Amino acid sequence: MTMINKTIPEFSVEAFHNGEFKTITSEDVKGKWSIFLFYPADFTFVCPTELEDMQKIYGELKDLGVEVYSVSTDSHFVHAAWHEHSTAINTLEYPMLADPTGAVTRGFGIMIEDAGQALRGTFLANPDGVIKVEEVHDLGIGRSAKDMLRKVKAAQYVQNHDGEVCPAAWEEGEATLTPSLDLVGKI
C-alpha cells in the first residue's frame, strides 16, 4: 500500500539532535518540507553511509526549506552512543528520531515485523504533511541523497507550477511538460 498523497502518521518521539535529547512530534514537522529517512539499525554497515551521504547535501536541503529526520527503531540513547562513536554519524546535523515501539515505522508501512526494524524507506512530505515521494529499498541496497535532492526540487517545482509536470531525470532549470491534447502521442 502506497503512502503517496497520504498525510504522515501522528507521532511523538524522543530524538537525539545537536548533542541533546528532545521530543519531536508530527505537528513539529508541518509547515516545512520534510524528509523521513528510515533505516534498519544503528551500528550497522550500509546505514551510516546513507546517513552521511544525506548530511553531505543537508545544507542544500536547508536552503530549499527542507528538514531531514532519520528514523530507526533504536532508542535515543543508542542514537547518542552511535553519534559519539562513529566518524560518519558524528557529522550529522539533522535529528535522529527514536522509534523503539515501531509505531512510526508501522505508520509509514515499512516495518519488518519479525526483525523489529524498518526497511530502507525515504519519504518526502510537503509543508502540509502530505507525502509526495516514497522510495523503499531492500536492506542491502543503499540510497542516493543526490537523487533525493533532485526529487525534492521536482516536487517543489510541481507544487509551485500548477499544470506542469517534470519528465524523467528532470533537473532544475530543464524544460517541463504541460499535459494537454496537443502533446498526446508526440512524446
Catalytic residues: 47
Please give the Cα distance from 176 to 167 (Å, whole number). 6
Cell 526494524 identifies what position? 117
- The three cell numbers of residue 87 are 566518524
Q: How far is CA 150 from CA 22, 23, 89, 119, 164, in A?
A: 30, 30, 23, 22, 16
Please give the Cα distance from 186 to 60 (Å, whole number). 36
Q: How far is CA 135 from the centre of its chain?
A: 9
Q: How far is CA 16 from the centre of its chain?
A: 17
Q: Are 132 and 4 in contact (CB under 8 A)?
A: yes
Q: Are 64 and 28 in contact (CB under 8 A)?
A: no
Cell 539533522 identifies what position? 94
